[in-house]
Amino acid sequence: MGHANTVSRRRLLRGLACAGVIGVVPPGRDTPRAEPAEGLTLWGIPATPSVVLARAVASGMLDEVSPGVVLDSWKSTDQMRAGIASGEFQLFATSTYAAANFFNRGAGTTMINVVSWGVLYVMARDESITRIEDLAGRHVLLSNKNEAPDLLFRLVLTWSGLDPDNDLQLDYVGSPGEAVPLYLNGRGDVAVLHEPAATAALARAAKAGLPIKRAIDVTETYGQHTGRGARIPQVGLAANAAFLDAHADVVAAVHAACVEAGTWVLENPDMAGALASLTLPLPAPVIAKSVPNIHLDVVSAREARADIDIYFKHLMSLDPGIVGGGLPHPAFYWG
């Protein structure tokens, strides 16, 4: 697997220095005592939630427990799956349902935390579109058919009294990156986009003078139905079982660094964008503007278990096999 975008703490700090913001990165803080895990790579998801890992590495909080820790980003779900299956990925960002699927199939993957609690939006040209019910009869451009984002959208349609296959036209493409230019060029009345694609679409639309808005936060609609607030436990950090067994204190230190990072990122989105842009294939301004729209809140998996289980039950109502056959054993939830 390629490591072209591997970024060390030194390079992250150099990037901040070039951006003129080095003075706000504090020195390392106390971390739990741990056996050092040298040569560790934190694998980020190729999307906005990786800002948390970028800050965790740059903060210095991991220097003692993991000298030389670096940040990389997997480039495709195939690379992620191969890295998990081979054991190369020891600590990695992933969707919660993918981690559960690996766990239930015997890979031993453990969910460490949840970082992002919702990244899905309906983008529209028509100012009158403000609710899911307003999508009746519309041409909807979306991606990732039969994966969690698609299932989530179908759930909220159904909860709002719409039949996804009959009350509107669903037009699938391969990825959000493919959907953005198609939508900007006029395909579809609305588009269902993840972050950071939604923010990127708004930036490109503004530059081109196109009237596109962020019309519906799917996470808000989901929360109205569940009664648990706007919280879909979608993305977080997971660990390889062998690494967790050998370096439990290191995993705890990484989680603590992520908690600190979550607060810092929300308070410093521009600097977070500058950091993450060194690893992610996204410009810093897009990452920065995306940060407020990923429902960022770093919570241990055990603390988030009730929300995760509810989420999985809803996904399984449409696809019983999406998490590998059932709710994962309590051992899946770290904390």
pTM of the model: 0.89
pLDDT band at 35; cut points 50, 70, 90 = low
Mean pLDDT, residues 247-272 taken together: 97
Check if the beta carbon of residue 157 is closer than 8 Å to that of residue 122.
no
pLDDT band at 34; cut points 50, 70, 90 = very low
Please determine, for residue 226, whether its predicted confidence score (pLDDT) is greater than 50.
yes
pLDDT band at 8; cut points 50, 70, 90 = low
Share of the chain above pLDDT 90, in %: 84
From residue 204, alpha-carbon distances to 39, 173, 180, 201, 287 in Å are 39, 19, 9, 5, 14
Residues 302-330 have pLDDT tens digits of 999 999 999 999 999 999 999 998 999 99
Tokens of 303: 């603390």
From residue 56, alpha-carbon distances to 8, 157, 272, 330 in Å are 11, 37, 11, 27
SS (H, E, C) 150-194: HHHHHHHHHHCCCCCCCCCEEEEECCHHHHHHHHHCCCCCEEEEE
Residues 129-166 have pLDDT tens digits of 999 999 999 999 999 999 999 999 999 999 999 999 99
Check if the beta carbon of residue 284 is closer than 8 Å to that of residue 92.
no
Q: Alpha helix locations (H) across the chain?
A: 9-18, 51-58, 77-86, 96-104, 148-159, 176-184, 197-208, 218-226, 241-246, 248-267, 269-276, 284-290, 305-318
Share of the chain above pLDDT 70, in %: 90
Q: Which residues are registered as beta bridge partners of 170?
A: 140
